[in-house]
């Protein structure tokens, strides 16, 4: 037994194992269930009692030394294995984080506002929950006008003279601007509007408008026409033509509907313009004297024009989208088509 212990001690001193597999083999050979040191432990049980102390000590030392040696070799083999693993390839392309982009309605709203900013207009905003006075009364809507009815308007509170409602158009911001700002006034008012409509390819119960208002001395219909023409050319291209058709709005007199020449067929007639060569983009007119009076402006001294357009409608025409609902469903495949469409 003595020789065996000494032999194993000597062997431990020169034990080498290059790989993790070699280390494991050495461990099994020495310390495993059928290993050499385990076998010596077995033999130790049959040894003469007077020798037990000496051999017991030696055997424990041997086991400790073997365990420490195996541990040391294992660490070295692991480090070597790690060092020989292929290094990270720093020339590999990185993982791209998908970036969000602006919603097409936001892009077009910003384009409309930026065009009018260049013309010297300020931006004004007003509340989405409005009262009857600012949405209808001050805009010269007769008391029984159908737009006031439940089938058009979402009411928040009813039953009193000036009920609260979700604004059905951004024209209410005209009134608030006339009440609070000094003359002359030149503003565009972007915002959300709400109507009790069945959702379809052409209508939604929530959509966006940009309203415009210009009030000064001697403002004429010619100024209105020029402003709209310049806007249309900035928005749809330098060769765009406009035409105005007589229309009616309670808050403007005279009133008109504005069409732009179809930028797809260039006026020849296609399925987007339904063969007419023209696309309707907004309503407009000269601010009715009653509207000026309601907000304390003297119609003898001042005149003005106003216009209002649907942002989704402009976006549909600009990008030839034929179903309004695409703008509200937020299907990523649709939205991603506008990821680079940020130019004005
Ligand atoms: N408020 C109108 C609508 O929602 C749009 C509009 C038409 C606004 C003519 C105007 C205007 O300022 O002059 O349909």
- Ligand 1 centre from 56 Cα, in Å? 104
- Ligand 1 centre from 284 Cα, in Å? 6
- Ligand 1 centre from 301 Cα, in Å? 23
Residues 62 and 193 in one domain: no
Residues 301 and 239 in one domain: yes
Closest CA to 55 of 36, 34, 35, 41: 41
For residue 288, give the DSSP letter: P
134 lines ligand 1 (CB under 6 A): no
Q: Which domain holds residue 312?
A: 104-338
Q: Give the CA count within 13 Å in the CB-facing half-sphere of 186.
A: 15
Determine, yes or no, domain membership for 303.
yes
Looking at residue 53, its pLDDT comes to 85
- Ligand 1 centre from 312 Cα, in Å? 15
Determine, yes or no, domain membership for 25.
yes
Q: At 148, is the secondary structure helix, strand, or coil?
A: helix
Looking at residue 341, its pLDDT comes to 67
Closest CA to 29 of 2, 11, 42, 52: 11
Looking at residue 151, its pLDDT comes to 66
Residues 168 and 313 in one domain: yes
Residue positions counted in the chain = 344
Residues 62 and 110 in one domain: no
Residues 122 and 210 in one domain: yes
Determine, yes or no, domain membership for 233.
yes
- For residues 229-252, b (16+ Cβ closer than 10 Å) or e, as one string? bebbbbbbeeebbbebeeeebbbb
Looking at residue 306, its pLDDT comes to 98
- Ligand 1 centre from 146 Cα, in Å? 15
Q: What is the DSSP string of 36-74?
A: HHHHHHHHHTTS-HHHHHHHHHHHHHHHHHHHHHHHHHH
Residue 220's CATH number: 3.30.930.10
- Ligand 1 centre from 18 Cα, in Å? 85
177 lines ligand 1 (CB under 6 A): no
CB-count burial class (<10 Å; 0-12, 13-18, 19+) for 100: exposed
Determine, yes or no, domain membership for 48.
yes
Question: Dihedrals φ, ψ of 145, to 5°?
Answer: -60, 135
* Ligand 1 pocket test, candidate residues 112, 135, 202, 211, most atoms within 8 A of CB: 211
Looking at residue 344, its pLDDT comes to 40
307 near 105, Cβ under 8 Å? no
Looking at residue 97, its pLDDT comes to 84
172 near 134, Cβ under 8 Å? yes
Alpha-carbon span 150 to 313, nearest angstrom: 24
- Ligand 1 centre from 283 Cα, in Å? 5
Give me 143's structure tokens: 């008391």
Q: Which ligand 1 atom sits closest to the C-alpha of 252?
A: 13
- For residues 169-183, b (16+ Cβ closer than 10 Å) or e, as one string? bbbbbbbbbbeeeee
Alpha-carbon span 103 to 208, nearest angstrom: 13
Containing H/E element for 168?
none
Determine, yes or no, domain membership for 131.
yes
Q: Alpha helices, DSSP H only, in the chain? A: 2-14, 20-31, 36-44, 49-84, 104-118, 132-135, 171-180, 221-236, 289-294, 311-319, 326-329, 332-335
Structure-token match 């940009």, residue found: 210
Q: Say how many domains are in the chain.
A: 2
* Ligand 1 pocket test, candidate residues 126, 138, 171, most atoms within 8 A of CB: 171
Closest CA to 309 of 174, 187, 171: 171
pLDDT by position in tens, the chain (length 344): 888 888 888 888 888 888 889 888 988 988 899 988 888 888 888 888 888 888 888 889 888 988 998 898 889 888 888 888 777 888 888 888 877 889 999 999 999 999 999 999 999 999 999 999 999 999 999 888 877 776 689 999 887 888 999 999 999 999 999 999 999 999 999 999 999 999 988 889 999 999 999 999 999 999 999 999 999 999 999 999 999 999 999 999 999 999 999 877 887 888 778 889 998 999 999 999 999 999 999 999 999 999 999 999 999 988 888 888 999 998 999 998 888 765 54
Q: Which ligand 1 atom sits closest to the C-alpha of 305?
A: 13
Q: Is the Cα torsion angle 54, 60, 63, 69 positive or negative in sign?
A: negative
Residues 292 and 200 in one domain: yes
Residues 244 and 334 in one domain: yes
Residues 167 and 316 in one domain: yes
Residues 300 and 217 in one domain: yes
**Which of residues 50, 83, 116 is at a domain's end?**
83
Determine, yes or no, domain membership for 16.
yes
Q: What is the DSSP string of 1-41?
A: -HHHHHHHHHHHHH----SHHHHHHHHHHHHSTT-HHHHHH
Residues 177 and 145 in one domain: yes
Alpha-carbon span 120 to 214, nearest angstrom: 11
Residues 192 and 323 in one domain: yes
Looking at residue 150, its pLDDT comes to 65
306 lines ligand 1 (CB under 6 A): yes
194 lines ligand 1 (CB under 6 A): no
- C-alpha of 179 from chain center: 35
Residues 255 and 319 in one domain: yes
- C-alpha of 36 from chain center: 70
């Amino acid at each position: 037994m003595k020789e065996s212990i000494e032999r194993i001690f000597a062997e431990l001193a020169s034990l080498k194992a290059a790989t993790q597999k070699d280390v494991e083999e050495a461990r099994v050979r020495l310390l495993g269930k059928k290993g050499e040191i385990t076998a010596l432990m077995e033999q130790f049980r049959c040894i003469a009692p007077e020798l037990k102390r000496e051999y017991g000590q030696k055997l424990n030392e041997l086991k400790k030394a073997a365990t420490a040696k195996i541990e040391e070799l294992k660490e070295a083999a692991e480090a070597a294995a790690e060092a020989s693993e292929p290094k990270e390839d720093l020339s590999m392309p990185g993982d791209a984080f998908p970036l969000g982009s602006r919603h097409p309605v936001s892009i077009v709203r910003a384009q409309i506002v930026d065009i009018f900013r260049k013309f010297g207009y300020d931006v004004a905003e007003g509340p989405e929950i409005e009262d009857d006075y600012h949405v209808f009364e001050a805009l010269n809507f007769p008391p029984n006008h159908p737009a006031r009815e439940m089938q058009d308007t979402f009411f928040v509170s009813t039953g009193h003279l000036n009920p609260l409602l979700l604004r059905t158009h951004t024209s209410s911001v005209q009134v608030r601007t006339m009440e609070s700002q000094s003359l002359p006034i030149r503003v565009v008012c972007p915002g959300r509007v709400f109507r009790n409509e069945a959702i379809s390819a052409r209508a939604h119960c929530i959509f966006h408008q940009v309203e415009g208002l210009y009030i000064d001395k001697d403002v004429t219909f010619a100024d209105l026409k020029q402003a709209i023409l310049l806007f249309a050319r900035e928005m749809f291209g330098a060769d765009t033509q406009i035409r105005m058709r007589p229309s009616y709005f309670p808050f403007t007199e005279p009133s008109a509907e504005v069409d732009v020449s179809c930028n797809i067929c260039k006026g020849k007639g296609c399925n987007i313009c339904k063969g007419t060569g023209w696309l309707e983009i907004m309503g407009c007119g000269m601010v009715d004297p009653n509207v000026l009076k309601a907000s304390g402006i003297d119609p003898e001294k001042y005149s003005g024009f106003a216009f209002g357009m649907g942002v989704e409608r402009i976006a549909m025409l600009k990008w030839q989208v034929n179903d309004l609902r695409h703008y509200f469903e937020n299907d990523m495949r649709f939205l991603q088509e506008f990821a680079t469409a940020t130019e004005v």
